[in-house]
Structure 1
Amino acid sequence: MSDFRKLSETMFASPQIGPEDIEAAGEAGVTLIVNNRPDGEDPGAPQGEEIAAAAAAAGLDYRAIPIGHAGFSEVQVAEMVEALDGAEGKVLGYCRSGTRSTFLWALAQAKSGAASPDEIAAAAMQAGYDVSPIRPMIDMLAAR
Structure 2
Amino acid sequence: MEIRKIDDNLSVAPQIAVQDVAEIARLGFRTLVANRPDREEPGQPSMADIEAAAAEHGLKWVYLPVESGNITDADVDNFAPMIRDADKPVFAFCRSGTRCTVLWALSAARELDPREILTRAHRAGYDITGLIPRLQQQADQH
TM-score clears 0.5: yes
**Aligned-partner residue type, residue 12 of structure 1:** S
Counterparts of 2:116 and 2:21 in 1: how far apart (Å)?
29
Q: State yes or no: 1:126 paired with 2:123.
A: yes
Deviation at residue 47 of structure 1 after TM alignment: 2.1
Deviation at residue 141 of structure 1 after TM alignment: 0.5
Q: State yes or no: 1:38 paired with 2:57.
A: no
In the alignment, what sits opposite 1:23?
22
- Per-residue Cα deviation, 1:60-104 (whole angstroms, up to 9, x for no partner): 011111111461122211211111121122111111111111111
Structure-1-length-normalised TM-score: 0.92
Q: Secondary structure at the match of 1:39?
A: coil
Deviation at residue 133 of structure 1 after TM alignment: 2.2
Counterparts of 1:88 and 1:44 in 2: how far apart (Å)?
30
Structure 1 segments (4+ residues) deviating >6 Å: none
Counterparts of 1:29 and 1:135 in 2: how far apart (Å)?
32
**What is the count of residue pairs matched by the alignment?**
141
Write the mapping of 1:112-123 to structure 2, written as runs, cut at 5 A.
Answer: 113=111, 115-123=112-120
Choose which of 119, 126, 137 in structure 1 pairs with 2:134.
137
Deviation at residue 28 of structure 1 after TM alignment: 2.4
Write the mapping of 1:2-81 to structure 2, written as runs, cut at 5 A.
Answer: 2-69=1-68, 71-81=70-80
Percentage of identical aligned residues? 35
**Aligned-partner residue type, residue 122 of structure 1:** T
Deviation at residue 46 of structure 1 after TM alignment: 0.6
Deviation at residue 53 of structure 1 after TM alignment: 0.8
**Aligned-partner residue type, residue 10 of structure 1:** N
Q: Kindly report the root-mean-square deviation, in angstroms, between the aligned alpha carbons of the 2 structures.
A: 1.3
Do 2:121 and 2:128's aligned partners in 1 also have CA atoms closer than 8 Å? yes
Structure 2, unaligned runs of 5 or more: none
Structure 1, unaligned runs of 5 or more: none
Counterparts of 2:121 and 2:105 in 1: how far apart (Å)?
8
Write the mapping of 1:104-119 to structure 2, written as runs, cut at 5 A.
Answer: 104-111=103-110, 113=111, 115-119=112-116
Counterparts of 1:89 and 1:68 in 2: how far apart (Å)?
25
